[in-house]
Amino acid sequence: MREIEGGICAPGGFRAGGIWCGIKAGSRKRDLALIYADRPCAAAAVFTTNRVKAAPVLVSREHLAGGILRAVIANSGNANACTGEAGLAAARRMAELAAGEFAISPREVAVASTGVIGAPLPIAAIESGISSLADSIRPGPAGHEAALEAIMTTDTRKKAAALELEIGGATARLGGMVKGSGMIHPSMATMLCFLTTDAAISRELLDRALRRAVRRSFNRVTVDGDTSTNDTVIIMANGEAGNPPIEAEGPDYGLFAEALEALCVKLARALARDGEGATRLVTVRVRGAADEGAAELLARAVASSSLVKAACFGADANWGRVLCAMGYAGADFDPAVVALRFAGAGGEVLVCESGAPVPFSEEEARRVLSGEEIEIRVDLAGGGPGAADAWGCDLSYDYVRINGDYRS
């Protein structure tokens, strides 16, 4: 498995583009993106668990029921959420517009939106720009970069990755891009994630691999405890790699699922690192839990704790907050066997053993916690085989500043 360049356009047979069409007043950033596959693709998706679902989520879920996609059209600047029947009509119109440019069925087009909730989508702007959008698509980095910029909102970093591996004697590639910075919490996050692969794989196994990857990546990311109305992860597989089609679980499926999970973990970490107002990426690593599910609950509770996040911002080794968060996680564990360590580029500091304090240097702990990436390592001594990581960020003053006037 090797990291490569190119993002969503790294796999063969995919093109992408992005333009500005004026969806958000006062902005000149690209705001309309398109990903197009030269041939029909097996497709799978995972959407938000929020009961309030945006119009594009409802429309894309309908279209993904057929298991085949050719394109994804996405906009930033407006979430098209809580917009009633007019919002549903606008989402369907977006699919129709993209389909019309390539003479394909609207049901082969997925739709995604991100931005302000509760505002009508200016569909006229998309209608005016659709021809330019279709003309903008390119293979390779140029197309990928334009599409990635077009889906960003409060993101401060471009988040993308691609991998290459050998499957069945053929070279297959996977690529992805993701946007998201705030309103991020399992399951999933305020995120749009688009994944492509030229591997040949059945729709059923593609769906299985995606759900496993999402559970171990995006469902373990938290920035602020809010789960969005628009969360969408879509993957398309066109088979251009020429590998023997993966139609049953076995070594080839295992390799593909492992690569997809690695790609999604990389993107999930990038989401947490770019949390609104964040100054530090925080990884919570739990080992020795009864099983993976218990470890995940514990890790997510710690990463989600506002008090833990605030302590990380202040580089304060307030480890009692970690143990407190574990206590309300809903997982069974013995507090008397917990060991806690803070780790980072500055080293590692043991702060708690057997559920009780141990002497440590506050100065050394502050140095460790002052790095851009820190780890909270939880060891349940003598526990079971359960292990899981969760990713979050610190909670800074800038988070309130950004969200205090988001609509303006």
Active site residues: 190
Answer whether the bond into residue 188 is a cis peptide, omega within 30°.
Answer: yes
Residue 222's φ and ψ, nearest 5 degrees, are: -145, 140
3-state class of 56 per DSSP? Answer: helix
Tell me the CA distances in angstroms from 5 to 8, 144, 161, 235, one per residue in order.
9, 10, 7, 18
Instruction: Sheet containing 338-344: give its strands across.
Output: 356-357, 347-353, 338-344, 373-380, 281-289, 386-393
Q: How many CA atoms lie within 13 A of 251 on its CB side?
A: 7
User: What span, in angstroms and rounded, lies between the C-alpha atoms of 72 and 186?
Assistant: 24
Closest CA to 271 of 141, 155, 103: 155
Q: Rounded distance, CA 254 to CA 248, Å?
A: 10
Give the whole-angstrom CA distance, residue 78 versus residue 128: 16
Give the residues across from 162 on adjacent strands.
Answer: 175
DSSP H helices, 216-250, are: none
Q: How big is the chain, counted in residues?
A: 408
What is the phi/psi pair of residue 14, to 5°? -120, 140
CA dist 394 and 281 (Å) reads 7
